[in-house]
Amino acid sequence: MEKPDSKLWESSPWSSGDVSDPYAFDIAHYTRLLVENSKRLFVQDDQLWIKVMEIGHRDIMFKSSLEFEAYLRSPEFKGTRLILIPQRFSWDNLLISESGLKLLLSRFNIFPAFLDVVNAFGAQTSSESDSISTSHTHVRANISECCYVTRHVDDHAREESEDSWSIRQMGVYHQRNVWSNADTFIILNPSKTFLQRLKDAQTVSGRLPTWRDIHILAASCATTPWRRYISYMESKLAQLKTKAHLSAVAESETPDTRPKLKIEFADTQNTGVIHDKLHKVDHILGSNLNVFSILSTVMSGRDGIQAHFDGRDNRLAFCTNETEMQQRRVNTLFQRINAASGLMQNIIDFRGLEALKTSSEMSTELSRLAQKNAEKSQKDARTITTITIFTMIYLPASFVSVSSQISWHALRTFKTTDRARVFKAIFKYGIR
């Protein structure tokens, strides 16, 4: 039988056989995932920043890996506990070291699939992780585990950006020990809305949150902002659609001083960008619905762990119904954007045909003018030829005629003696 890589196995936080089921989880794959993405995911030990909220007891800040390790080795806390691991900003490393995460994994015997959630975070240069859909559950003995990634939109209000909205994500891990009545949450990149609402809810309700409340809050934070964002996308589409409806298809023959709207190729590009964003939103809403479905199973006690269940707790239904409604809006926008895109393309095609027609007419006119100029040039050439011939014939004759007149005039002006000399010379030399 082939033996696993010893070095890889030794570095694995799941090397102990009783921690995870090697038949259910590919331990080598998740260990390799942890090692290969360590620099992208985690910070150094001296940069650690973790907040632990022991609900109803205390809040503790950890900036030292040694202090955090000492806390985790303390006696088990009974109650609801949140371990918050933030990021400095959305696409930055998680503020926990690799050793700190391994300590968490081994301390709570966290199942390996949690690495799928962790791997969705860390330093990035693009939003490729937005398409990752992650939600897992696992049950062993008296312990139930679930982890998932929820995504929401946030209005960042940065003036330098064309789009004022950003897609954010939050990772949640929950371990529930029924025997010890301990609920441990690990929240990756907790949103400001989540933390503020958690604080406000305790003040308003006057009671401490249960583990169900934490899941409901996470689901609600991933639900509420989508309505505004989809309305924002709808307004962008409406602007392009209106421009297409009012666009001047062809040049008017009558003068018009009103401003004219024209569909350009850039408008079809903008339509394509909106179409792509809507596809992304549709996928995210679908993945959120999948998370809500898993949470419904966990919260109803149908995950194999017997616990107190309040049949009246149907708060998750609001998140599910709202998300389904927003997904239907997105599907409607798909149809509308296809219609608008088709109209824009037809306008551009028609204008192209009009331009081709105009170009053809101009070419015909230029050909006619060229032919006319050629005929005129040919006529001018014949005229020049005629003038040249007449010049060749009459110019010498004119020269001779003028020369003869000059000679006769000169002859008449001779004196008598001169004439006598001339005649004498002619006679003399002529006789000879």
Pairwise CA distance, residues 152 & 168, whole Å: 5
pLDDT at 425 over 60: no
**The pLDDT of residue 170:** 95
Distance CA 68, CA 73 (A): 9
Give the pLDDT score at 2. 47
CATH of 1-214, one of 3.40.109.10, 3.10.450.50, 3.30.460.20, 3.30.300.30: 3.30.460.20
Give the start-to-end residue ranges of the domains of the chain. 1-214, 223-395
On whether the pTM is more than 0.85, the answer is no
Segment 207-244, tens digit of pLDDT: 999 999 999 999 999 999 999 999 998 888 887 777 66
Reply yes or no on whether the pLDDT at 391 is more than 90. Answer: no
Please check the confidence at residue 302 and state whether its pLDDT lies above 90: no
Q: What tens digit of pLDDT does each residue of 198-214 get?
A: 999 999 999 999 999 99
Residue 301 has pLDDT above 90, yes or no: no
* Mean of pLDDT values over 313-335: 90
Which residues sit opposite 188 in a β-bridge? 85, 171
Q: What is the mean pLDDT of residues 100-120?
A: 91
Q: What percent of the chain lies above the pLDDT cut of 90?
A: 37
